[in-house]
Each structure stands twice: as C-alpha cells, then as structure tokens.
Amino acid sequence: MTTIPATPRSGSVPRSLGAVLLGLVSIFVLSLGIDEVLHVLHVYPPWGEPMRSPGLNLLALGYRLPIAVFGSYLTARAAPRNPRRHAMILGVLGLALSALGAAAAMKADLGPLWYPILLALSSVPCAWVGAALHERAAAR
C-alpha cells in the first residue's frame, strides 16, 4: 500500500497570496489616504516637494508604523494557515519596498534620510507585532 504525500489544501496558494496582498493594499491605501488628507490640509507641503521638517517626518512615521502593524494583523487573520509566516512575508516585502524607497530618496533629495531608513528597518518588527496581536486575539 502506498501513501499519498500531503499536499496543501485546495485553493490555499491563492488565499495565501490574497492574505499578503490584503495587508499590502491596506497599508498603501491607509498611508496614502492619510498623506493626502495632510496635504489637502496644508500640514504637508505639496506633493513632489521634500518634507524637510523632522517633525513632519515624525508625524508620518507616527501613523505609518501602526498602519503597518494593522496591515500585518489583517494578513495574519486572512491567512489560510501559518498566520505568523504570512505576516512575516509581508514584513520582508515591506522591507524590500521600503529599501527601494530609501535608495530613491537618497538620489532625489526628498527629505531626511533617517525617515525612509526607519521605515525599512521597522517593516519586519511591525509584521511581528501584527502577527502577535492576531495570535493573542485568536487565543481568546
């Protein structure tokens, strides 16, 4: 008698991709939405102009970090299995995208370099926190 090796559940790969995409899109939409509101309210300079004020960059970091945690929580919650792994994949993807943004910022003089560097470095820790919050909620 031969045994058939275990295979992933039907449809789990699309659901996994969807979970990571859900987190990524939620982070983009919420971050850019708040950015737009702050531009319209003239808190931020017009699009395309650098934000040279450290205070404005701290403000942006202040809402982008919780948004990254929230997006990672959503990814973990939507994951078909291994929620932490899905959230961490999102964190690594965020690290890669933020590193590209930091490299672009270095060339384009878009403001202080510490801001995009901190965004990149915070991606994986934010993903870990989002996954931990999901695990805590799921344990209840």
31: how many CB neighbours lie within 10 A of its CB? 17
C-alpha distance across the termini of the chain, in Å: 42
| 87-138: pLDDT as tens digits | 999 999 999 999 999 998 888 877 889 999 999 999 999 999 999 999 999 9
41 three-class SS: coil
Length of the chain measured in residues: 140
Q: Burial of 4 by CB count in 10 Å (0-12 exposed, 13-18 middle, 19+ buried)?
A: exposed
The pTM of this model reads 0.89
